[in-house]
Chains A and B, each alone.
Chain A
């Protein structure tokens, strides 16, 4: 079927038209502080040397910086590292200029309710696993974050919980789903993606198939609460990384593969807390091993940008529509996703990249920073 024919199928044409209105989003990512209460196993933020900068804590400086970002065309900001809620004045300064975006937080400290960013709250396991995977900065077992998050963000429609599956916590999601659903919140899934040179025991090894089954079960058991599609589950639990399947368009991955891109490849930047960036760290998760990347934020860009790889069959196109619909529901305040259009038919997506280019992007090097 051609794209024209696919769009003539009413359900597909309507969904495509719905999604298409949101492709004006031009995002970048910003570390707003190097402080965090926790030291999580495999945390991307504290990998490498990139976080060793002197934080800029001046709201005025951030406001002026965001104005420049806006002039550069950025209309969506992702405030992610290390724990944005610890610098509320900086978050507010960003919001004053670019009020469209997402804050990624551990949820131990609440963000003011008048900040209308989407808020992604990370969940790593149940009451047994979470303190083990996410220790305090001093190395002691961390708190069980979920009850604190639910208390801090009760009846808060900005929130999407993000449960990171790892090699040890697949069945721990049951408790998280019950709690999140019970409070009327929504939850999406992430897959632990190892940083370069990681030796973490949480790295996915032989549990991908079971993880996929658990995701399918969650989609069917909690249809209101779970913001995830069958196609999301299929591509994020493939034996191939997202980069191998579709070719990551972030500058860091393209540079490593000696390829050129367009759109996000040209506009995306990943800034440190001192308002600087480097080309080779321009990626939503700059120290992740690309050959192991199944991260939800990466997928939101990688899969979404590859319409061309999803028009060879109706099943592929349905999968892509569901994926983009899910991405928008997770990242755009007020966006409501529709019914799943795709059902897994047993066909795994084939990787685009030949084996030599599946190698990881080079680790971040401490080069002079350019703002």
Chain B
């Protein structure tokens, strides 16, 4: 029986990458740290598109996954990003020899 690899991704880790990407932007990061929930939509929270693209690049580098730019539009919240990254890691884990 194949061993199941743990590919869970922490929401706090993802949130940390988002705020790292937002360093130096004009968005009020201090307020967002407390206000942004897992379900908050990035657009509604006023997070600009460069911050998001940088966030997606940092996710790729952190988790060593590819995030095609045509999928950016669906990654609208921390929750959606967490599910997406987990799904990607599961695909990678399944492809790796046990």
Residues of A with Cβ closer than 8 Å to B?
Answer: 2-4, 16-17, 20-21, 23-24, 247, 259-266, 305-309, 311, 352
A4 to B73, CA, bound (A): 24
Residues B70 and A259 in contact, CB atoms below 8 Å apart: yes
Residues B53 and A307 in contact, CB atoms below 8 Å apart: yes
**Given A21-B24, A23-B25: A263 and B54 within 8 A (CB)?**
no
Q: How far is the CB of B59 from chain A (nearest CB, A)?
A: 11
A-B contact count (CB 8 A): 59
Residues of B within 8 A of A261 (CB): 72-73
Considering only residues 8-38 of chain B, those with a C-beta below 8 Å from chain A are 24-27
Of the listed residues A4, A16, A17, A23, the one surrounded by the most CB atoms of chain B closer than 10 A to its CB is A23
**Given A4-B61, A20-B24, A20-B25: A260 and B73 within 8 A (CB)?**
yes
Residues B49 and A264 in contact, CB atoms below 8 Å apart: yes
Q: How far is the CB of B78 from chain A (nearest CB, A)?
A: 15
A366 to B50, CA, bound (A): 34
Residues of A within 8 A of B43 (CB): 262, 266
A353 to B51, CA, bound (A): 24
Q: How far is the CB of A245 from chain B (nearest CB, A)?
A: 13
Residues of B within 8 A of A259 (CB): 70
Q: How far is the CB of B26 from chain A (nearest CB, A)?
A: 5
Residues B57 and A20 in contact, CB atoms below 8 Å apart: no
Q: How far is the CB of B89 from chain A (nearest CB, A)?
A: 18
Chain B interface bracket (under 10, 10 to 19, 20 to 34, 35 or more): 20 to 34
A179 to B53, CA, bound (A): 41
Indicate if B74 sits at the interface (CB-CB under 8 A).
Answer: yes
Residues of B within 8 A of A306 (CB): 53, 69
Known: A24-B48, A305-B53, A307-B53. 15 other contacts (CB 8 A): A2-B61, A3-B57, A4-B58, A16-B24, A21-B25, A23-B25, A24-B26, A260-B70, A262-B52, A263-B52, A266-B43, A306-B69, A307-B50, A308-B57, A311-B57
The list of the 6 closest CB pairs from A to B, nearest first, reads A263-B49, A260-B73, A23-B50, A23-B48, A307-B53, A24-B26
Question: Which of B26, B27, B57, B70 touches A307 (beta carbons < 8 Å)?
Answer: B57
Question: Which of A21, A247, A260, A262 touches B49 (beta carbons < 8 Å)?
Answer: A262
A266 to B76, CA, bound (A): 13
A2 to B62, CA, bound (A): 10
Q: How far is the CB of B66 from chain A (nearest CB, A)?
A: 10
Residues of A within 8 A of B54 (CB): 3, 307
A23 to B49, CA, bound (A): 8
Residues of A within 8 A of B69 (CB): 247, 306, 308-309, 352
A286 to B19, CA, bound (A): 36
Residues of A within 8 A of B72 (CB): 261-262
Residues of B within 8 A of A20 (CB): 24-25, 50
Residues of A within 8 A of B58 (CB): 3-4
Residues B26 and A21 in contact, CB atoms below 8 Å apart: yes
A305 to B57, CA, bound (A): 13
Q: How far is the CB of A275 from chain B (nearest CB, A)?
A: 25
Considering only residues 56-86 of chain B, those with a C-beta below 8 Å from chain A are 56-58, 61, 69-70, 72-74
Residues of B within 8 A of A4 (CB): 58, 61
Question: Which of A2, A21, A260, A263 touches B74 (beta carbons < 8 Å)?
Answer: A260
A306 to B49, CA, bound (A): 10
A311 to B57, CA, bound (A): 8
A307 to B51, CA, bound (A): 10
A311 to B50, CA, bound (A): 13
Residues A262 and B73 in contact, CB atoms below 8 Å apart: yes
Residues of A within 8 A of B52 (CB): 262-263
Residues of B within 8 A of A265 (CB): 73
A191 to B26, CA, bound (A): 33
Residues of B within 8 A of A262 (CB): 43, 49, 52, 72-73
